[in-house]
Amino acid sequence: MICSSLKSVGDLTTCQKINDAEWKRPDMVNISKGILADALGCVAGGALGGMGQSTSSSNIGLSIATGTTSRIIAYAMGLILVVLAFFPKLSSLFAIMPKPIMGATLMFVLSFMIIAGFQIIMSRMIDGRKTFVVGISLIFGLTVDIMPNAFEGMHPWISPIFSSSLSLAAMTALSLNLIFRIGIAKKVKLQLMPEADSSQKIFEFMERNGGAWGARREVISRAVAGMNELMEAVIEHRLTEDAIDMDVNFDEFNLDVDIRYKGELMEFPQQSPDVAKVLEEKEEQLRFSGFLMRKYADKITGSTKSGLTHIRMHFDH
């Protein structure tokens, strides 16, 4: 049941993605309603003496392949299935479909479903931990079908997990994900000196932590660009001679970069400075750097108190 529910979560997430061009993350409220509907279908099936119900991954693959996701089709198919329930002889026409046709159809729709799954996985940054979780889970799941005798000696209490490729892959992924989340900090610190070439340090720092967080790459890229622009402005215009502290905070919906240094606060204009002045005047170059930082971030604020400058760049995730 755990594996079936996780499969339904994956199916519903895929449905959300193919119906939303701006999809960023699973809508858990919508998914919870889908799981409830799934459970009610199982209860109804049991109460009526039928079989348990579950979402169909192959049908979702068919929707991806054909581009048809309208609810009108679902209503029509539901009506057809209700009618077929009262005419078992008519239903048997579908049951006697030749196996080569069934196999070819299954291969066709599953190819789309597999690619959709990997697209969801690759929509976030992946580090070594996540690569290991995905890879080992797939290997263990395939081993059940390729080498069915590999897990014969398991204790009877846990042997059901190793009897199905779905259950073993799902439980392996779930367990490893919980283990590998240990030690991942949601707040990390970086200190840089203004005279050092910091671009590579910033890139490696954000790549490492973005992969650990499973953040969206485009958000991390904008944060890296904003942090590099600040460091270039600091070095070029000598805004400070002391160390620059950067605190990066992440949750599923927000990425905040808090920057502190002793020195002058730069301006973050709404409008781009005049290009001719930028080429000639140092002050306009500094304002242009501030303008770029504002463009990279979804929100940027700055303040100075007792000679300590504090800049916050906020990125919607």
Residue 94 has pLDDT above 80, yes or no: no
At 224, the pLDDT band (50, 70, 90 cuts) reads very high
Tokens 């008519």 sit at which residue?
A: 90
Residues 162/151, Cβ–Cβ less than 8 Å: yes
pLDDT confidence of residue 311: 95
How far, in Å, CA of 310 to CA of 76, rounded? Answer: 60
Which tens digits make up the pLDDT trace of 102-142? Answer: 888 888 888 888 888 888 888 889 888 889 999 999 998 88
At 74, the pLDDT band (50, 70, 90 cuts) reads confident
Which tens digits make up the pLDDT trace of 253-302? Answer: 899 999 999 988 989 998 888 877 777 788 888 889 999 999 999 999 99
Range with lowest mean pLDDT among 37-51, 84-98, 282-296:
84-98
What is the β-pairing status of strands 308-316 and 299-305?
antiparallel
Amino acid at site 171: M
How far, in Å, CA of 252 to CA of 133, rounded? Answer: 20
Q: Two tokens at 152? A: 């014969």
Domain with CATH 3.30.565.10 in the chain: 187-316
Residue 213 has pLDDT above 80, yes or no: yes
At 5, the pLDDT band (50, 70, 90 cuts) reads confident
How far, in Å, CA of 182 to CA of 202, rounded? Answer: 24
Residue 145 has pLDDT above 90, yes or no: no
Q: pLDDT above 90 covers what percent of the chain?
A: 33
Phi first, then psi: give them for residue 192, nearest 5 degrees: -130, 150
Residue 195 has pLDDT above 80, yes or no: no
Q: pLDDT above 70 covers what percent of the chain?
A: 100
Amino acid at site 281: E
Name the strands in the sheet holding 254-262, side by side, starting at the edge strand that comes first in the sequence: 187-192, 244-250, 254-262, 308-316, 299-305
Name beta bridge partners: 312. 258, 301
pLDDT confidence of residue 158: 82
**pLDDT average, residue stretch 40-64:** 85
Phi first, then psi: give them for residue 39, nearest 5 degrees: -65, -40
**From the candidate CATH numbers 3.90.45.10, 3.90.1300.10, 3.40.1160.10, 3.30.565.10, the one assigned to the domain spanning 187-316:** 3.30.565.10
How far, in Å, CA of 286 to CA of 63, rounded? Answer: 52
pLDDT confidence of residue 162: 84
How far, in Å, CA of 231 to CA of 293, rounded? Answer: 11
DSSP three-state, residue 273: coil
Contacts of 168 (CB under 8 A, 6+ apart): 140, 141, 143, 144, 151, 161, 162
Strands of the chain (E only): list them. 187-192, 244-250, 254-262, 299-305, 308-316
- Cα dist from 130 to 17, 74, 177, 183, 197, whole Å: 21, 36, 8, 14, 30
pLDDT confidence of residue 127: 86
CA nearest neighbour of 256 among 188, 304, 205: 188
**pLDDT average, residue stretch 292-314:** 93
Which tens digits make up the pLDDT trace of 147-192? Answer: 878 887 788 888 888 888 888 888 899 899 889 887 787 899 999 9
Sign of CA dihedral 9, 10, 11, 16: positive
